[in-house]
Amino acid sequence: MPKPKTRIMYIEDKSEGLNGPARIGRVTFSKSGRSIHYQGRTFGRVGSGYKYNHVAEDNGDHFWISGPRKDGADRLHPGSGMPVEIDADVADEYWRDIRGSK
């Protein structure tokens, strides 16, 4: 049985407004690629949404989920004073492979 596809992604909670809590973490994709699994939650892709591209299947909250940017400017709306958290299990790989730091 093949291993599920995983990737380091940027996940921002849009349920409270334009600038919500954000994380960099490893997600797992469903076999079809239409759903993403992260920290025990499942996020379904939406065709079009206002400032969000995924919906949490457990409660309908809106999220922006995308590949992390090399320059670190991941927020859809810059200017939030809230830091982007990086999950400990991906921190080294994120800084080395995505941001290009040693």
Predicted local distance difference test score (pLDDT) of residue 21 = 93
What pLDDT, in 10s, does the model give residues 16-65?
Answer: 888 889 999 999 999 988 899 999 999 999 977 678 899 999 999 999 99
Give pTM, 2 decimals. Answer: 0.89
**What pLDDT band is residue 102 in, cutting at 50, 70 and 90?**
low
Domain holding 37, by residue range, is 6-98
Specify if 13 maps to a domain: yes
Task: Output the six-digit token pair for 10.
Answer: 């940027």
As for how many domains the chain has, the answer is 1
What pLDDT, in 10s, does the model give residues 47-57?
Answer: 776 788 999 99
Judged by DSSP in three states, 91 sits in: helix
Predicted local distance difference test score (pLDDT) of residue 33 = 84
Specify if 63 maps to a domain: yes
Specify if 39 maps to a domain: yes
Specify if 1 maps to a domain: no
